[in-house]
């Protein structure tokens, strides 16, 4: 069994409507984020890999298993969908326990795992109440508990932070990071880009059913050559640094930081930019405290590649 | 050689796990099917004849000579009410909920995302639906039978325990079991094929009604046609109702039972094939 999620030239059409087109991916363990506007194909990708929809073309394998191998696949995969609906009349506890019992395990073990999962998502005593009375955040938590209860190796999360308050979001993100550190595949789709940016090992950018870019977020940013990169330089004399950079005709934009102790510079050639910055620092003209890319986050890349409104810029 | 390896492959399948999963799924479904407010109308459908017979028991006297008339009425209730209406619509309600109902409620994906083969899921749901329907309509027929002969006192008890009564009850229960399984399999399939299975069910009802006058081969594609041959008492219907009871070709009881079981097996096999490619697209529901 290999350790990758593989899509080979996968397309999905819903009648005449395109779901995704000719997607090829090879996803290693870690946190992978699917980013794209509504209708870009993120949920279709997740549904394809879990067999909820069938591909029109191409092949999919999840750690060597086909989506049709339900017994084996769902022993190692948990999917927290974005469908906010549950089987009628169940308490949170029953929902998680019923799901574990279908794995064929002994009741004592299922009870133990259900307990662990509910504690992990910090649902507390609410687990004994009917799901129908839950808030949106609690419903999200119980779905997450059900998805992780059997200790899967692949966790698929469709908009998992929706409806969670800031505290619960932070707890969920910490949980995803912990699961990823344990060697798990965590595949997340989310439109809360800042949070995604912080936890992702790699991103998959999609729009209109097409794959736009894929890989480590910094690599993806460097591949966007036509968009000048923005760098924040913390220094004692930001205006001097800005004028120096403009003098050597290398920057296309400069903007002072609000606190006056730094400058955002935009450059078309990041490698040369850094070497010149080193020269300026060596001359002692400006005392540089810190240098950091200011736009190689998912948000910026998303805007560059897909556009604010979802259409490629 | 190839046949041998195929047989070995079949034997090596995790039958124990599938059996356990099917049992657990059936329990979950039963919990939801039998004890649900939404099922109230099906309880009414099943027990309306019992209520009417109970009123008849209280209101009318039961002279001994009337027993054969009541026996015919009971046979008519089973053949004309339960098979044609009660079990038919009850099974439509129970079995179309199993898959389509969960798609409408948008909760089917939880089952499709569990480590259970879809065929096992379908058969477990079918088993749960069948148990619910048989429990409901079986107990209704037993109640009808008991109430029908209760008014006759010792003569009624003698008819049941020393006469043909018990054999008739067993035949009625066999008919109810087969009717639930047969209509259940058909409606489970229809609910996977159509977003709203009711119009298709009405076509089935029409087909079942005109089936006795169709050619012999077409009569075999019908649930009620097999059940007619199992009736312990011939129903002497008149007018339009005669169409529902006509027997064009005599068939032995065991042949009718096996024939219907084969029909159920064919429908379930096709349903298993369909569920393998079932897609979750709630937005189109």
Tell me the DSSP string of B175-239. Answer: HHHHHHHHHHHHHHHHHHH-SSHHHHHHHHHHHHHHGGGS-HHHHTS-HHHHHHTT-SS-----G
Domain boundary among A163, A192, A215: A215
Has residue A131 been placed in a domain?
Answer: yes
For residue A104, give the nearest of B21, B102, B105 by CB distance: B21
Q: Give the pLDDT score at A170.
A: 85
User: Rounded to a whole number, what is the distance in angstroms from the first to the last CA of chain B?
Assistant: 47
Question: Does the structure show a pLDDT above 90 at B219?
Answer: no
pLDDT of A269 = 75
- Indicate the SS3 state at residue A284: coil
CA distance A23 to A213: 11
**Hey, what are A206's tokens?**
């999609």
Instruction: Tell me if A87 and B32 make a contact (CB, 8 A cut-off).
Output: yes
Once rounded to an integer, what is the mean pLDDT over residues B20-28?
A: 92
The per-residue pLDDT for A1 is: 53
Classify residue B53: in a domain, yes or no: no
Counting as low any pLDDT under 70, the low residues of chain A are 1, 191-197, 221-227, 248-250, 296-313
Please report residues of A whose CB lies closer than 8 A to that of B116: 70-71, 74, 102
Cβ count near A276 (within 10 Å): 17
3-state secondary structure of B285: coil
Average pLDDT over residues B250-273: 90
* A100 and A199 fall within a common domain: yes
Pull the structure tokens for residue B230: 């199992």
CA dihedral B201, B206, B208, B212 (to 10 degrees): -170
Q: Do the Cβ atoms of A103 and B25 come within 8 Å?
A: no
The reply to whether residue A88 touches residue B113, judged by beta carbons under 8 angstroms, is no
Examine the fold and report which residue of A190, A215, A240 is the final residue of a domain before the chain moves on: A215
Confidence class of residue B243 from pLDDT cuts 50, 70 and 90?
low
Determine whether the interchain pair B115/A103 forms a contact, defined as Cβ–Cβ distance below 8 Å.
Answer: yes
The mean pLDDT of B223-234, rounded to a whole number, is 85
- A269 closest CA partner among A256, A252, A257: A252
pLDDT of residue A53: 93
* SS3 (DSSP) at A100: helix
Determine the residue among B31, B36, B97, B110 to mutate to test chain A binding: the one whose Cβ has the most chain A Cβ atoms within 10 Å: B110
Kindly state whether residues A47 and A173 are assigned to the same domain. yes
Q: Which pLDDT belongs to residue A188?
A: 92
Residue A305: the pLDDT is: 67
- Residue predicted with more confidence, A270 or B73: B73
Give the model confidence (pLDDT) of B97-142 as tens digits: 899 888 888 889 999 999 999 999 999 999 999 999 999 999 999 9
Measure B244 CA to nearest chain A CA, in Å.
39
A175, A190, A215: which is the final residue of a domain?
Answer: A215
Using a CB-CB cut-off of 8 Å, the residues of chain A touching B117 are 70-71
State both tokens at B7.
Answer: 């047989």
Q: Which of B105, B113, B281 sits opposite A74 (nearest CB)?
A: B113
pTM of the shown model:
0.81
- B8 falls within a domain: no
Range 144-183 of A in CB contact (< 8 A) with B: 146
Residue B190 lies in a domain: yes
Nearest by CB to residue B105, choosing from A79, A81, A88, is A88
Give kind and range of the element (H or E) at residue B124.
Answer: helix B118-150
pLDDT value of position A312: 45
Q: Which two tokens stand for residue B147?
A: 């109430």
Comparing CA positions, the residue from A77, A89, A158 lying closest to residue B102 is A89
The answer to whether residue A311 sits within a structural domain is no
CA angle B33, B38, B42 (to 5 degrees): 75
How many Å apart are CA A254 and CA A236, to the nearest integer? 16
CB spacing of A102 vs B114 below 8 angstroms: yes
Q: What is the pLDDT of residue B24?
A: 93
Q: What's the domain count of chain B?
A: 1
Q: Does A88 touch chain B (CB under 8 A)?
A: yes
Which tokens belong to B35?
């004890």
pLDDT at B249: 65
Q: Which residue has the higher pLDDT, B35 or B206?
A: B206
What's the domain count of chain A? 2
Residue B283 in tokens:
């937005």
- Here the CATH number for the domain that contains residue A36 is 3.40.50.300
Q: Which domain holds residue B234?
A: 64-284
The pLDDT, as a whole number, for residue A56 is: 94
Residue B57 counted as domain residue: no
- Other CB atoms within a 10 A radius of the CB of residue A253 amount to 12
Tell me the nearest-neighbour CA distance from A192 into chain B, angstroms: 23
B116 inside 8 A of chain A by CB: yes
DSSP E strands in chain A: the ranges are 5-14, 17-27, 30-35, 57-62, 77-80, 154-158, 185-189, 202-207, 210-215, 229-235, 251-256, 262-267, 288-293
Asked if residue B71 is part of any domain, the answer here is yes
Q: What angle do CA A280, A285, A290 make, to 5 degrees?
A: 65
Q: Rounded mean pLDDT of B199-226?
A: 85
Residue B129: inside a domain, yes or no?
yes
DSSP single-letter state for residue A310: S
* CB-based contact, B37 to chain A, within 8 Å: no
Nearest by CB to B32, which of A50, A89, A103?
Answer: A89
Backbone angles phi, psi at A156, to 5 degrees: -110, 125
Average the pLDDT over B214-236 and give the result.
82
Calculate mean pLDDT across residues B31-44: 80
| pLDDT tens per residue across span B179-198 | 999 999 999 999 999 988 99
Give CA separation, B37 vs A292, B85, B102, in Å: 62, 21, 16
Does pLDDT of B212 surpass 80? no
**Residue A267, pLDDT score:** 81
What is the rounded average pLDDT of the residues B237-252?
A: 62
Chain B residues whose CB is inside 8 A of the A81 CB are 109, 113
A52 vs B117: CB contact, 8 Å cut-off? no
Q: Let me know whether A101 and A201 are in one domain.
A: yes
Give the domain extent around A208.
5-215
**Residues in chain B, overall count:** 285
Using a CB–CB cutoff of 8 Å, tell me whether B274 touches chain A: no
Counting one residue from chain A and one from chain B, the pairs whose CB atoms sit within 8 A come to: 74
Nearest-CB residue to B282 (from A71, A83, A103):
A83
Task: List chain B residues with CB under 8 Å of A142.
Answer: none
pLDDT for res A75: 94
**Do A230 and A86 have their domain in common?**
no
Mean pLDDT for B143-152 is: 92
- Closest in A53, A74, A88 to B114, CB measured: A74
Please state the φ and ψ torsions of residue A213, each to the nearest 5 degrees. -155, 155
């Amino acid at each position: 069994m290999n350790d990758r999620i593989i899509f080979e030239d996968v397309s999905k059409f819903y009648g005449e409507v395109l779901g995704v087109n000719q997607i090829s991916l090879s996803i290693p363990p870690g946190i992978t984020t699917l980013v794209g506007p509504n209708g870009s194909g993120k949920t279709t990708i997740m549904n394809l890999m879990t067999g909820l929809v069938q591909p029109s073309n191409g092949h999919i394998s999840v750690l060597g298993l086909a989506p049709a191998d339900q017994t084996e696949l769902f022993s190692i995969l948990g999917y927290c969908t974005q469908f906010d609906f549950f089987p009628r009349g169940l308490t949170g506890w029953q929902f998680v326990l019923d799901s574990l019992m279908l794995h064929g395990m002994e009741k004592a073990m299922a009870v133990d795992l259900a307990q662990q999962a509910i504690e992990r998502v910090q649902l507390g005593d609410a687990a004994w109440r009917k799901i129908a009375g839950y808030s949106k955040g609690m419903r999200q938590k119980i779905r997450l508990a059900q998805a992780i209860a059997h200790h899967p190796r692949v966790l698929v999360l469709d908009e998992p932070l929706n409806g969670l308050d800031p505290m619960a979001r932070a707890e969920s993100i910490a949980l995803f990071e912990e699961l990823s550190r344990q060697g798990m595949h965590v595949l997340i789709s989310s439109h809360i880009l800042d949070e995604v940016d912080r936890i992702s090992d790699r991103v998959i950018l999609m729009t209109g059913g097409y794959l736009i870019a894929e890989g480590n977020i910094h690599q993806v940013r460097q591949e966007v050559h036509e968009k000048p990169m923005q760098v924040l330089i913390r220094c004692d004399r930001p205006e001097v640094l800005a004028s120096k950079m403009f003098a050597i005709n290398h920057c296309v934009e400069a903007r002072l930081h609000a606190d006056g102790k730094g400058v955002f510079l935009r450059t078309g050639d990041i490698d040369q930019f850094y070497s010149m910055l080193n020269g300026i620092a060596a001359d002692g003209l400006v005392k540089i405290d810190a240098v950091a890319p200011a736009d190689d986050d998912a948000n910026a890349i998303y805007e560059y590649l897909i556009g604010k409104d979802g259409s490629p810029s | 050689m190839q046949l041998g390896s195929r047989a070995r492959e079949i034997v090596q399948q995790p039958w124990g796990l599938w059996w356990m999963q099917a049992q657990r799924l059936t329990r979950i479904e039963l919990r939801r099917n039998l004890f649900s407010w939404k099922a109230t109308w099906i309880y009414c459908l099943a027990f309306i004849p019992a209520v009417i017979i109970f009123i008849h028991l209280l209101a009318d006297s039961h002279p001994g000579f009337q027993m054969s008339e009541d026996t015919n009425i009971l046979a008519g209730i089973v053949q004309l009410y339960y098979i044609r209406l009660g079990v038919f619509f009850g099974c439509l309600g129970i079995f179309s909920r199993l898959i389509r109902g969960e798609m409408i409620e948008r909760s089917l994906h939880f089952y499709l995302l569990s480590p259970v083969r879809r065929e096992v899921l379908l058969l477990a749901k079918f088993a749960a639906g069948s148990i619910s329907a048989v429990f409901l309509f079986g107990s209704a027929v037993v109640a009808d039978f008991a109430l029908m002969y209760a008014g006759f006192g010792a003569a009624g008890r003698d008819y049941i325990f020393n006469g043909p009564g018990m054999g008739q009850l067993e035949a009625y229960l066999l008919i109810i079991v087969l009717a639930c399984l047969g209509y259940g399999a058909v409606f489970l399939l229809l609910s996977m094929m159509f977003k709203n299975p009711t119009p298709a069910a009405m076509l089935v009802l029409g087909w079942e009604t005109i089936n006795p006058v169709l050619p012999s081969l077409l009569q075999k594609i019908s649930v009620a046609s097999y059940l007619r041959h199992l009736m312990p008492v011939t129903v002497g219907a008149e007018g339009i109702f005669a169409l529902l009871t006509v027997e064009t070709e005599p068939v032995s009881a065991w042949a009718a039972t096996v024939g219907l079981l084969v029909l159920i097996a064919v429908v379930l096999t096709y349903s298993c094939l369909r569920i393998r490619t079932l897609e979750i697209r709630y937005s189109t529901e």
